[in-house]
Amino acid sequence: MAFDYDLFVIGGGSGGVRAARIASAEGGAKVGLAEESRMGGTCVIRGCVPKKLMVFASGYPAAMAEAQEYGWNVSNAGFDWPRFRNRLAAELTRLETAYRTTLTKAGVTIHDTRVVVVDPHTVELAGGQRLTAKHILIATGGRPFVPDIPGAELAVTSNEIFDLTELPKRALVVGGGYIASEFACILHGLGVAVTQYYRGAQILRGFDDEARGLVANAMQDRGIAIHCGTDVMRLEKSSDGIVVPATDGSSRGFDLVLYATGRRPNSTGLGLEALGVGFGRSGQIVVDDYSQTAVPSIFAVGDVTDRINLTPVAIREGHAFADTVFRGIPTRADHNLVASAVFTQPELGSVGLTEEAAREAGPIDVYVTTFRPMRTAFAGYPDRVMMKLVVDTANRRVLGCHIVGPDAGEMIQLAAIAIKMGATKDDFDRTVAVHPTMAEELVTMRKPTRTG
């Protein structure tokens, strides 16, 4: 049977674009790709990139205050949100254009439309046109989740936060994960009075307990009102903005309510249910180690599979798929020891096992140091940095590294290389410190803080 395409990709995010490009440019495949929204997906348009630019913007008030302590005559004349927003929109347009250009140069045909899967080898465009493909790749990512509560339509999500016409004076961030905590810090840094509700006992669940506790304390010290064990009952429009009755008995007014209570796989409405594709409890598409579904011709990568929902992971999965199917190089995406960073203020960088998870696996030695970093200590600030290594007692291998402090994301990337290579605590000890730096503490901790 002759197909219109060797590969048809549904979704123009990081994973889908990488798979399409490699399959076409290096695998010699005829590739089509459909994207109903903007090319670049969540990361480029509604996630990592605009969020990180907002992180940069939100850090300048503290930097200006710190500069004054170092002798500079600096004044904070206020933040021009429309100017920043317009510059941000222009940058995202530039990046989207770059993605399109990359695909076109690689020989990929782009369809700017929604697509459904009709059968294992056929897709139907929104206009009714049907196209056939030997292989179909689902890379539709995820979407923000807002619970079904009265007044839910009054809330915004991370999809809309970048397009606000003006910054609110008072904002409620609902959620305790990294997206919620990052936006709480961003909005606070931009001058918004921020309250954060989380129904759990502590924000940043899944990260090392000691590390997330330090981040939470620092956020509160900076003026963010974190209320754990608290959830929203409903949202009500009033003359005071949005009134939010909560489970702790309070009722507060806000100008903006941002929901960041998790994301769900974008797997519905694609026609996959009738074809025998398997789904998990959260709606994720079930795939094997090679990203293949229960239907042999249909594959899936990225957040829609709910494996590790990080952009670099989606890129690796898309590349591995293209290598396997179109380049004759069977490749499994490696999901072991994937580092991550939370761009709160302070940042949190993490790779490997938390102390809690490692302790359940066997005897460990834990090396921890907390200290006031030189830069902010000189300015008289109480900020603290934490460096932590979790070590297997038996073989001295470093099982996990957790860093809280400025540029923790940059540091954890380098620590991840050593840990991925199987570095032991003795390897860290043999490494000469770079002085004076924060990171030198990773190689100067000699005695464990906790054992067992």
Q: Residue 49: is its pLDDT beyond 80?
A: yes
Integer Cα distance of 346 and 383 in angstroms = 9
Vertex 265: Cα angle to 235 and 344 (nearest 5): 65
Average pLDDT on 89-117 reads: 97
- Alpha helix stretches (DSSP H) within 35-80: 41, 48-69
pLDDT of 382 > 80? The answer is yes
Q: Given CATH 3.50.50.60, say whether it is the number of domain 5-144+264-326.
A: yes
Q: Give the chain's mean pLDDT.
A: 97
Cα angle 267, 269, 270 (rounded to 5 degrees) comes to 70
pLDDT for the residue 293: 98
Alpha carbon of residue 135 to chain centroid:
29
* Per-residue DSSP letter, 76: -
- pTM to 2 decimal places: 0.96
Active-site choice (121, 135, 227, 435): 435
| pLDDT value, residue 90 | 97
Q: Write the pLDDT tens digit of every residue in 386-421.
A: 999 999 999 999 999 999 999 999 999 999 999 999
Q: Is the pLDDT of residue 1 over 80?
A: no
- Residue 324: predicted pLDDT: 98
Residue bearing tokens 């909560």: 246
* Domain residue ranges of the chain, discontinuous segments joined by +: 5-144+264-326, 152-260, 346-451
DSSP letters along 383-400, please?
--EEEEEEEETTT-BEEE
First and final C-alpha spacing in the chain:
63
For residue 319, indicate whether it is catalytic: no
Q: What is the average pLDDT across 167-177?
A: 98
Q: What percent of the chain has pLDDT over 90?
A: 98
Residue 178 CA to residue 8 CA, distance in Å, equals 33
Pick the CATH number of 152-260 from 3.40.47.10, 3.20.20.70, 3.50.50.60, 1.10.10.10: 3.50.50.60
Q: Identical fold at 5-144+264-326 and 152-260? A: yes
Is residue 240 predicted with pLDDT exceeding 90?
Answer: no
Average pLDDT over residues 35-64: 95
- Given the candidates 3.30.390.30, 3.30.565.10, 3.40.718.10, 2.60.40.10, the CATH classification of the domain at 346-451 is 3.30.390.30
Q: What is the pLDDT of residue 122?
A: 98
